[in-house]
Amino acid sequence: MGCVMVNFKVKKALNNNVLIALTRDGEEVILIGRGIGFGRQQGDAIVNSTVEKLFVMKDQSEQEQYKKLLPHLDDETLKVIIEAVELIRARVAEPLNEHIHVGLTDHLLFAVNRIIRGMGIRNPFLLETKALYPFEYEVATEVTQLISRKLTISLPEGEIGFIALHIHSAMVDKDVHDVSRHSELLATLVRMIEASFAIELDKESLDYMRLVRHIRYTIERVVSGEKVDEPEKIADLLKLEYPMCYNLSYKLIKIMQQTLKKPVYDAEAVYLTMHLQRIQTKVK
C-alpha cells in the first residue's frame, strides 16, 4: 500500500480510475488513482513517478471485494471517493491500511444512494466519536464537504462520525467494527455517569473531553492487556472519601470488562474515580 516504487504492467483497466496490474514478480495488484485507467492498454508500463500518486491494493480478499463494488459506482462518484481518500492520505502522516478503499467506498456508496432516495441514517454515537477521535473527525469533516460539493448532495453531519471511524480504523489498522464498538461502549458509560449523577454532561466542555480521553486510553490499555499499577494509599482514601464515585467507577469497569471480554485491573477504578469526582464537584 502507498508509495511502492516498482514498475507495473497493465493487465486490464477496470474503468478510468482502477486497473489490474502485474508487478515484476508477476503478482497481481489493483492500482487506484484518478484517471489511472484512462486509455491504458494491456501490457502498458506504469512508471515510478505515477506510482507515487497511486494506491496499490495487494490483499487478495480486499481486491475481490473492491471489484464487486465497482459495477455499482459511476465513474464520477468513484473519482470523488478516490479524491477523498487522497485527501485523507495527505492529512494523515502514517500509512493507511488498504482496507480504507473497500470500507469507505462501500460506506459512501450506501450513504449516497440513501440520500438520493431521501433516506438518512442517524448516527447515535456522533458526539462520542467526535470526542474520542478529534483529529479524524476534523479530516472527516473536510471529506464530507468535498463529497457534498463535488457530487452536489448534502451529506448529513452524522456521516462525519461514520467517516471518522473509517479513517481511525485505517490509521491504527483495526477493524472498523471494533472501532465502532468502542464508541458505543463510551456512549453507554457516559449515559450511566449521567444517570448516576442525574445530570446531562456538556459534550463541548473540557471536563467531558478529559473524561472521554481517559476512558479511551483505558479501553486501549484493556484491549492491549497493559497493566496499570494501583496506588494503594490513594485507593483507600478514595473509597473512604468518595464512595459514590468509587462504586460508580467500579460498575463502569465491570461493563468494560463484559463488553471487551478482557480483564480490567482494579487500578483503573482508582483513576476513573478521580475523573468522576471532578465532574461531581462541578455539578454541586
What pLDDT sits at residue 48? Answer: 57
- Grid cell at residue 124: 447515535
Nearest Cα to Cα of residue 251 among 201, 196, 214? 196
**Long-range contacts for 151-158 (Cβ within 8 Å, ≥24 apart)?**
151/76, 151/77, 151/80, 151/112, 153/112, 153/115, 153/116, 154/115, 155/111, 155/112, 155/115, 156/115, 156/120, 156/121, 157/123, 157/126, 158/120, 158/121, 158/122, 158/123, 158/126
What pLDDT sits at residue 3? Answer: 47
Per-residue pLDDT of 66-91, as tens digits, reads 999 999 999 899 999 999 999 999 99
Q: Using pLDDT thresholds of 50, 70 and 90, give the confidence band for residue 14.
A: very high
Contact in structure between 265 and 230 (CB atoms under 8 Å): yes
Nearest Cα to Cα of residue 196 among 242, 130, 263? 242
Contact in structure between 161 and 126 (CB atoms under 8 Å): yes
What pLDDT sits at residue 64? Answer: 92
Handedness of CA 79, 81, 83, 89 (dihedral sign): negative
Per-residue pLDDT of 160-195, as tens digits, reads 999 999 999 999 888 888 888 988 999 999 999 999
What pLDDT sits at residue 259? Answer: 94
* Domains (range + CATH), the chain: 1-58 (2.30.24.10), 60-174 (1.10.1790.10), 177-283 (1.10.1790.10)
What pLDDT sits at residue 42? Answer: 86
Per-residue pLDDT of 15-55, as tens digits, reads 989 999 998 888 899 999 888 888 888 878 886 556 666 78
DSSP helix, strand, coil percent of the chain (3-state; round to 5): 60, 5, 30
Q: How far is CA 272 from CA 66, 134, 212, 233, in A?
A: 43, 21, 11, 16
- CA–CA separation, 41 and 191 (whole Å): 58
Average pLDDT, the chain: 88
pLDDT (average), residues 9-13: 91
pLDDT (average), residues 81-109: 92
Q: How far is CA 46 from CA 27, 60, 70, 82, 248, in A?
A: 15, 21, 22, 19, 60
